[in-house]
Amino acid sequence: MSLSGLFVQALNGLAAASTLFLLASGLSLIFGVTRIVNFAHGSFYMLGAYVAWSLTDRLQGAIGFWFSIIAGAAAIGVIGMIVELTIMRRIYRAPELFQLLATFALTLVIKDATLALWGAEDLLGPRAPGLAGAITILDRRVPQYDLALIASGPLVLLALQLLLTRTRWGVLVRAATQDRQMVAALGVNQAVLFTSVFALGAALAGLGGALQLPREPAGLSMDMTAIGDAFVVVVVGGMGSIPGAFVAALLIAEVKALCIALGDWQTPLGFIVAFPKFTLVAEFAVMAIVLILRPWGLMGRPDTTIRPQGSTSSLLTQPGTRQSWFIAGFALLLFAAPLLVEARSYTLVFGIDVLTAVLFAASLHFLMGPGGMHSFGHAAYFGLGAYAAALCAKALNWPMWAALVAAPAGGLIGAILFGWFCVRLSGVYLAMLTLAFSQIVWSVVYQWDGLTGGSNGIVGVWPSSWYSSKAAFYCLAVIVCGGATLLLRRILFAPFGYAMRAARDSVARSEAIGLDVRRIQWIAFSIAGAFAGLAGGLFAFSKGSISPETLGVSRSIDGLVMVLLGGVDTISGPIVGAAVFLFLQDQIARHVEYWRAILGLFILALVLLFPAGIVGTIRAWTLRR
């Protein structure tokens, strides 16, 4: 590998760093002031690229091009303002998970709106007029546009720094980042401040997307890759820190560039290490290392709010005799279902889906509700269980029961390993680290063709002959999922469950009475991982095939939606949430083309109208009577 090659890759890294910084600075700014982690930030980035594409399509020449870029960014700023005024404003007081859910729903709506307006095809943007050529540096051709991009990052950093330190608006933003209640007590209308910050952040994301247009086409997958990158940069840099975001963007982009530059490396031991394959994991690996060494990012400061104020969780109550009978009756009804519906019918397949989803949601709820640890990467343990079961069944020819024992073991081992790091953090940082680990697992599974089948996954994972009929497998699912869910519930009322809930409510007080909080949280994390793995194992056998999709981000998000849909502070919440969610997804996806938008609007309505979830709201109603 030559020096000039390394140099060109380093330049490439710098150009990528600028885009990352534009994206992350807006996200960081919005988080700093409003404390909202804006999942829709990647969607603003994507929209920026699409709007700029439409404008450059109509406006020719250098002036037309640059005007399109600026106008595209401004348009996204206006969209951001509308979003803030109609949605964000109503959820500033909501628990942070609801805010995330609302912004996630927004990504669904924006994605389908983009699909409807611009179509599914990738749209190739124009070359930048005047910068279409390349110049020669160290015998290598470097696109002029890349050099312009490299300059854009520091320029925006400078402009933001001037704005934040030299204007009254900037001083107010910095003051609000620190103590927004005090800023209000001094007579500053926060609403105006929040709207303007949100608009500016959205415009920065839009600018990033628009500037990217000459380098890569506008496509519908831009939003999710962008938000992943932006989260990582913001967390590595420290939430709310603009210079931190800049440093983190440089670090991550250069590490990725280095991976590409190193290429395949023949180790003395004979096997080949393919560094370019590490690019998918590189940023998450950097994030994991930084968070372990500096839990609040490179330039961030410790988050003082452990739990949002005023969110006193309601008490969990042990089931009484009547409820126990109700549960028993419900279980009987579930068993009787195959007799009521036609065997092999779609209803049974759907029932199995619901049952595995219920167990997955219950395990996530265990971690999030009573455990107080918000996970954005719970699908990793589900997927590890699924792959463990599938590999045992296919590669080792184990019988199904043995593979189903291996499944929770797979989830457990992953959770023990990752949980050790995760319990060292709290709040948003914990959530981001879980996301990072799940991305790492996903990348490994996706790239390890030899073991996992890569993107094709593993096919032909069928249950033993005993359970090959749908009705029999359904009954197995009822026993396993029902039993496991009840066991999870039982743990909550065991001494360990009390300790876990105490650790959630107050770390300091729990430690003062002799509880080892980290150990308790680590065990809780591991338990949740094992049960998710069990759900994954059943899933593998019920579907017959699995792919990296099984442990992708979208499954983690689905799990979050199910738990929040039912209500975090209720035990039966995840059960109801999973069932309702799957039913809706099934019904909407079968009949409507733009099902994502419908689902998104549904979630938004839910968050705005039923902030306590379905079960929580029903209980509030009955209590009021």
The mark string for 310-329 relative to another protein (x by CB under 8 A, - otherwise) is x-x-----------------
Q: Would you call 272 helix, strand, or coil by DSSP?
A: strand
CB 185 to another protein: min, Å: 5
CB 543 to another protein: min, Å: 47
CB 191 to another protein: min, Å: 9
Q: Would you call 100 helix, strand, or coil by DSSP?
A: helix
CB 611 to another protein: min, Å: 16
Position 178 contacts another protein (CB under 8 A): yes
Part in contact with another protein (CB under 8 A); list of ranges 181-189, 219-227, 277-285, 496-504: 181-189
CB 310 to another protein: min, Å: 6
CB 167 to another protein: min, Å: 10
Q: Which residues contact 312 (CB under 8 A, 6 or more apart)?
A: none
Position 2 contacts another protein (CB under 8 A): no
What the block records as the tokens of 521 is 């949280």
Position 168 contacts another protein (CB under 8 A): yes
- Residue from 140, 174, 277, 424 that binds another protein (CB under 8 A)? 174
User: What residue type is 502 in one-letter code?
Assistant: A
143 in Cβ contact with 239 (< 8 Å) = no
**Identity of the residue, 175 or 341, whose beta carbon is nearer to another protein in the bound complex:** 175
23 in Cβ contact with 226 (< 8 Å) = yes
**Identity of the residue, 310 or 320, whose beta carbon is nearer to another protein in the bound complex:** 310
- Residue from 184, 331, 349, 601 that binds another protein (CB under 8 A)? 184
What the block records as the tokens of 323 is 């409820």
CB 84 to another protein: min, Å: 17
- Residue from 3, 120, 136, 181 that binds another protein (CB under 8 A)? 181
**Identity of the residue, 183 or 423, whose beta carbon is nearer to another protein in the bound complex:** 183
Number of Cβ within a 10 Å radius of residue 533:
32
**Identity of the residue, 234 or 280, whose beta carbon is nearer to another protein in the bound complex:** 234
**Identity of the residue, 186 or 293, whose beta carbon is nearer to another protein in the bound complex:** 186
Minimal CA–CA distance to 554: which of 318, 223, 255?
223
Position 444 contacts another protein (CB under 8 A): no
CA distance 46 to 161: 25
528 in Cβ contact with 372 (< 8 Å) = no
**Identity of the residue, 189 or 455, whose beta carbon is nearer to another protein in the bound complex:** 189
Q: How many residues comprise the chain?
A: 625
- Residue from 56, 103, 152, 177 that binds another protein (CB under 8 A)? 177
Q: Which residues pair with 123 in a beta bridge?
A: 218
Position 162 contacts another protein (CB under 8 A): no
- Residue from 2, 60, 86, 189 that binds another protein (CB under 8 A)? 189
Position 245 contacts another protein (CB under 8 A): no
- Residue from 3, 120, 187, 621 that binds another protein (CB under 8 A)? 187
Q: Would you call 498 helix, strand, or coil by DSSP?
A: helix
User: What DSSP designation does 291 have?
Assistant: H
CB 493 to another protein: min, Å: 24
Position 172 contacts another protein (CB under 8 A): yes
**Identity of the residue, 161 or 190, whose beta carbon is nearer to another protein in the bound complex:** 190
Position 456 contacts another protein (CB under 8 A): no
* Strand residues in 294-448 grouped as ranges (E): none
CB 315 to another protein: min, Å: 13
Minimal CA–CA distance to 46: which of 11, 75, 13, 16?
75
Number of Cβ within a 10 Å radius of residue 585:
17
Position 171 contacts another protein (CB under 8 A): yes
Q: Which residues contact 149 (CB under 8 A, 6 or more apart)?
A: 15, 18, 19, 211, 215
Position 591 contacts another protein (CB under 8 A): no
Do strands 458-459 and 545-546 pair parallel, antiparallel, or not at all (unpaired)?
A: antiparallel
**Identity of the residue, 185 or 340, whose beta carbon is nearer to another protein in the bound complex:** 185
* Residue carrying the six token digits 């954005």: 376
Position 185 contacts another protein (CB under 8 A): yes
Residues in binding contact with another protein, number by CB under 8 A: 20
47 in Cβ contact with 206 (< 8 Å) = yes
Centroid of chain to Cα 85: 24
CB 301 to another protein: min, Å: 9
Position 306 contacts another protein (CB under 8 A): no
CA distance 621 to 625: 7
**Identity of the residue, 4 or 189, whose beta carbon is nearer to another protein in the bound complex:** 189
Do strands 272-274 and 264-266 pair parallel, antiparallel, or not at all (unpaired)?
A: antiparallel
CA distance 415 to 429: 17
Minimal CA–CA distance to 193: which of 34, 52, 335, 350?
34
Position 510 contacts another protein (CB under 8 A): no
Minimal CA–CA distance to 116: which of 45, 50, 210, 207?
50
Residue ranges that bind another protein, judged by CB under 8 A: 168, 171-172, 174-175, 177-179, 181-190, 310, 312
